[in-house]
């Protein structure tokens, strides 16, 4: 990979016909410029560089890029302007140093299919307005400092296939409404503080391939319905207080 070792050339942001910008791991430094003059921009990937957000004006400028479908990882506090990128279908912001809360404006991104905030320093509760993202196929928030319970709006996501909320501080019981996630394939709740029993409605999730409730505070018997999950390839229940025999 060629190393540019410097700021992003200003001339790049003026090439109005550009549709894709891939400058991954090229040694870029400095502040991310405005891309608002690139109306045809569809994909922007500046990952694995040493860029700075500055005053975040570059993010606001992306609201003019109405064709933008995919944006790369960025770092810092998530600004409310993120909600202006209404055409986004994929947003990876994982493995960075984001802190603070998920801004309410995330609920404006109704076209999102994949959203990942994994491996950051975000905290607080998952806001209820996250339920507005009805088209989500994947939602990853593992490896943060979220707490509280899961908002009820999340259980209405009919298209969701992957849900990973592991390695946080969620607590409470796992609600029966989890059984409404009819398309779910990967359900990963490991390393949190959930307690009581696994709800029987999990047995309705006939497409499950990965199920992990490992390292929580669950107890009781391993439920019989586990045997009905015929597509299951990975089952992780260790680190709990289950008793009785294996069904």
pTM comes to 0.76
What sign results for the dihedral spanned by CA atoms 141, 215, 230, 197? negative
What sign results for the dihedral spanned by CA atoms 203, 199, 124, 193? negative
Question: Over pLDDT 90: what percentage of the chain?
Answer: 52
What sign results for the dihedral spanned by CA atoms 53, 54, 59, 65? negative
The residue among 90, 81, 89 whose CA lies nearest residue 62 is 81
Range of weakest confidence among 157-171, 203-217, 220-234: 220-234
Please tell me the predicted confidence (pLDDT) of residue 80. 86
Could you read off the pLDDT of 3-56 as tens digits, one per residue? Answer: 456 787 777 767 878 888 888 888 888 888 888 888 888 888 887 788 777 777
- 75: confidence class by pLDDT, cuts 50, 70, 90: low
Collapse the DSSP code of 15 into the 3-class scheme (helix H, G, I; strand E, B; otherwise coil) and give the result.
Answer: coil
The two beta strands, 121-124 and 210-212, are: unpaired
Identify which has the larger pLDDT, 57 or 202.
202
């Amino acid at each position: 990979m060629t190393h540019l070792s410097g700021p992003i050339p200003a001339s790049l942001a003026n090439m109005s016909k550009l549709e894709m910008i891939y400058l991954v791991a090229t040694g870029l430094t400095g502040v991310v410029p405005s891309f608002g003059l690139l109306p045809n921009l569809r994909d922007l990937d500046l990952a694995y560089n040493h860029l700075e957000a500055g005053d975040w004006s570059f993010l606001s400028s992306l609201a003019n890029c109405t064709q933008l479908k995919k944006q790369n990882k960025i770092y810092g506090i998530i600004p409310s302007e993120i909600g202006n990128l209404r055409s986004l279908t994929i947003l990876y912001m994982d493995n960075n140093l984001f802190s603070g809360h998920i801004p309410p404006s995330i609920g404006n991104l109704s076209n999102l299919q994949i959203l990942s905030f994994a491996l950051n320093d975000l905290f607080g509760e998952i806001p209820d307005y996250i339920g507005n993202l009805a088209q989500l196929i994947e939602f990853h928030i593992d490896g943060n400092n979220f707490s509280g319970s899961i908002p009820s709006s999340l259980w209405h996501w009919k298209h969701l296939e992957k849900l990973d909320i592991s390695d946080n501080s969620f607590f409470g019981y796992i609600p029966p409404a989890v059984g409404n996630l009819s398309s779910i394939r990967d359900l990963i709740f490991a390393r949190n503080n959930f307690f009581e029993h696994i709800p029987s409605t999990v047995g309705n999730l006939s497409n499950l391939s990965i199920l992990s409730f490992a390292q929580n505070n669950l107890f009781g018997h391993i439920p019989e319905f586990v045997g009905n999950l015929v597509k299951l390839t990975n089952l992780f229940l260790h680190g709990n207080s289950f008793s009785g025999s294996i069904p």
